[in-house]
Chains A and B, each alone.
Chain A
Amino acid sequence: MTTLPPKIVLTDVHKSFGPKVVLDGINLSVARGESVVVIGGSGTGKSVMLKSILGLLKPERGSILVDGEEVVGMGQRGRDAIMRKFGMLFQGGALFDSLKVWENVAFGLIQGQKMERSKARDIAIEKLAQVGLAASSGDLFPSELSGGMQKRVSLARAIATSPEIIFFDEPTTGLDPIMADVINDLIVKCVKEVGATALSITHDMASARKIADRIAMLYKGKLIWVGPAKDIDHSGNPFVDQFIHGRAEGPITMELRA
């Protein structure tokens, strides 16, 4: 598929919460500079997969390599070094509501990289401009912004430290279709500009088609289909077909009784 060395490699990753198996042997490789989108229904473990790579959750079994380094069971010091390579856009934004917008964007620079506040502020304003926000919005608090603007601030924060790897957790969920497309464009632009490797999870097919080089589908704890984004419409996989066309009838049955 690609000759570049893989940035992230997941091998046979298992994670359960009590008796509930969420990840049941995930195998995925993301190449340097590639954008992979994982699709799947709600509650299929997409977020758990991202959080396992970030070390926020610890898988029971399997291996996760980032730049060839094993991160499962890694000590705090090594984890800190690995974390500097990552940026993440959280589903709900996860902006710090006690800090101003520019302080949010500059957080990784000031706290993580110990940059001077005035210098970090300049970079924050620049990143805000990149996502189409005026410098004046930097002095507002996150609660004073609309949902779409919060998402943009979140995006600015995720790219502020120029990370090598960026995760997007449902970047367009809860936005109107136009704002969703604006965010998609920004993601494509930002990832290209920074030259980052991107791993996104979403159930918004329009978004997936736009930002993905490759698409993987997660169902019942396993990746049931992985392929180039352009092949998604003739995957030959009935599960994928049902999902991308959003049909209630098909091999995927919603478990209505929890």
Chain B
Amino acid sequence: MTDFLAAIGRFFLAFLAHAGRLSAFTAVSVSHVVRPPFYPRLISREMIEIGYYSLPVVGLTAIFSGMVLALQSYTGFARFSAEGAVATVVVLSMTRELGPVLAGLMVAGRIGASMAAEIGTMRVTEQIDALTTLSTSPFKYLVAPRILAGTLMLPFLVLIADIIGVFGGYIVGVYKLGFNSATYISRTWEFLMPLDVISGLVKAAVFGFLITLMGCYNGYYSKGGAQGVGAATTNAVVSAAIMILVFNYIITAMFFGK
């Protein structure tokens, strides 16, 4: 019995230690994001990596999501003769939910993993210690530019994903389901409100912050050699994905909750 309780206690203490360390890491990181000196070269390099090079994968995800959304909602809505709502359903689902969440998850896989692996390797090869001995804060040099770039670039990526997704829905709607092109477009705009898009972009910024934070955090505290870096990479992606889904609910409730 005491063994069992000790196990629970150990788990609980480890959880608290982890939560405390993450909170401290977040606080220090954010303080370095807002304080000079800044590194424009590093920030722009990360922005290109996160924003530009993620476009193909995010675009592909978005177009097929938009297409399947049109197809599914058409067959579903046909059961109660509401096919006319397809365009509205596609645009609202994309901007409010699927755009940010799918882009977030794809970027978590792409960027979160590579950040954790890169910073983790720097940790185990003592490059992070070397930074400190060269009078450069690893937070300032490694963490802050990544978090800043992620938070700024994700909204742009999501805006593009929204447009591509709606376009995917349009292709299926017009060329497969036989909607009139002009009607589909006007239906798309008809019920769309600025808040639908804005809420999605706010989500995107939060997701960008979470992805880069988890990537940097897990890399920064990775231990051991190749195995430790591997574990850090896995943890970065899994924790970012879970946090994206949790925060997606929280932000949705804040914007649209009654």
B190 at the interface (CB under 8 A from A): no
Q: Which residue of B lies closest to A163 (CB)?
A: B133
Which of A84, A91, A97, A111 has the largest number of chain B CB atoms within 10 A? A111
Give the residues in chain A near B132, CB-CB below 8 Å: 54-56, 83
Give the residues in chain A near B126, CB-CB below 8 Å: 90-92, 94
Binary flags per residue of A228-244, CB closer than 8 Å to B gives 1, else 0: 00000000000000000
**Surface stretch bound by A, among B134-142, B206-214, B241-249:** B134-142
Binary flags per residue of A70-92, CB closer than 8 Å to B gives 1, else 0: 00000000001001101110111
Q: Which of B36-69 contact A (CB under 8 A)?
A: none
14 contacts between A and B (CB under 8 A): A83-B132, A83-B135, A88-B129, A90-B126, A90-B129, A94-B125, A94-B130, A95-B130, A96-B127, A96-B130, A107-B134, A108-B136, A111-B134, A112-B134
User: Closest CB-CB distance, A74 to chain B, in whole Å?
Assistant: 13
Roughly how many angstroms separate A112 CA and B122 CA in the complex, as a whole number? 19
Closest 6 CB pairs of A and B: A112-B135, A94-B130, A94-B126, A108-B134, A111-B136, A88-B133
A51 at the interface (CB under 8 A from B): yes
Kindly count the residue-residue contacts between A and B in the assembled complex, taking CB atoms under 8 Å apart: 50
Cross-chain contact of B133 among A83, A92, A95 (Cβ < 8 A)? A83
Roughly how many angstroms separate A83 CA and B136 CA in the complex, as a whole number? 9
Binary flags per residue of B80-97, CB closer than 8 Å to A gives 1, else 0: 000000000000000000
Give the residues in chain B near A157, CB-CB below 8 Å: 134
Instruction: Say whether A92 contacts B134, CB under 8 Å.
Output: no
User: Closest CB-CB distance, B196 to chain A, in whole Å?
Assistant: 40
Given A94-B125, A111-B141, residue A54 in contact with residue B130 (CB < 8 A): no
Q: Which of A83-123 contact B (CB under 8 A)?
A: 83-84, 86-88, 90-92, 94-97, 107-108, 111-113
Instruction: Say whether B133 contacts A54, CB under 8 Å.
Output: yes
User: Closest CB-CB distance, A258 to chain B, in whole Å?
Assistant: 15
Give the residues in chain B near A108, CB-CB below 8 Å: 134-136
Which of B125, B132, B135 has the largest number of chain A CB atoms within 10 A? B135
Give the residues in chain B near A86, CB-CB below 8 Å: 133
Please, how many residues of chain B have a CB less than 8 angstroms from a CB on the other chain? Answer: 12
Question: Using a CB–CB distance below 8 Å, which chain A residues touch chain B?
Answer: 51, 54-56, 80, 83-84, 86-88, 90-92, 94-97, 107-108, 111-113, 157, 161
Roughly how many angstroms separate A161 CA and B136 CA in the complex, as a whole number? 13
Roughly how many angstroms separate A83 CA and B131 CA in the complex, as a whole number? 11
Cross-chain contact of B129 among A80, A94, A95, A113 (Cβ < 8 A)? A94
Roughly how many angstroms separate A55 CA and B129 CA in the complex, as a whole number? 10
Give the residues in chain A near B141, CB-CB below 8 Å: 111
Give the residues in chain B near A55, CB-CB below 8 Å: 132
Instruction: Say whether B133 contacts A80, CB under 8 Å.
Output: no
Instruction: Say whether A90 contacts B130, CB under 8 Å.
Output: yes
Roughly how many angstroms separate A113 CA and B129 CA in the complex, as a whole number? 18
Given A88-B130, A94-B130, residue A80 in contact with residue B135 (CB < 8 A): yes
Roughly how many angstroms separate A87 CA and B126 CA in the complex, as a whole number? 14
Q: Which residue of A lies closest to B140 (CB)?
A: A111
Roughly how many angstroms separate A113 CA and B134 CA in the complex, as a whole number? 9
Roughly how many angstroms separate A111 CA and B134 CA in the complex, as a whole number? 8
Q: Which of B72-130 contact A (CB under 8 A)?
A: 122, 125-127, 129-130
Roughly how many angstroms separate A107 CA and B134 CA in the complex, as a whole number? 7
Q: Which residue of A lies closest to B141 (CB)?
A: A111
User: Closest CB-CB distance, A194 to chain B, in whole Å?
Assistant: 16
Given contacts A94-B129, A96-B130, 14 further A-B contacts (CB under 8 A): A54-B129, A54-B132, A56-B129, A56-B132, A83-B132, A83-B133, A83-B135, A86-B133, A88-B130, A90-B129, A94-B126, A96-B122, A108-B136, A112-B136
Give the residues in chain B near A56, CB-CB below 8 Å: 129, 132
Give the residues in chain B near A90, CB-CB below 8 Å: 126, 129-130
Q: Which residue of A lies closest to B28 (CB)?
A: A76
Given A90-B126, A94-B125, A94-B127, residue A107 in contact with residue B133 (CB < 8 A): no
Give the residues in chain A near B125, CB-CB below 8 Å: 92, 94
Roughly how many angstroms separate A55 CA and B133 CA in the complex, as a whole number? 9
Give the residues in chain A near B130, CB-CB below 8 Å: 88, 90, 94-96
Q: Which residue of B lies closest to A85 (CB)?
A: B135
Roughly how many angstroms separate A51 CA and B130 CA in the complex, as a whole number? 11
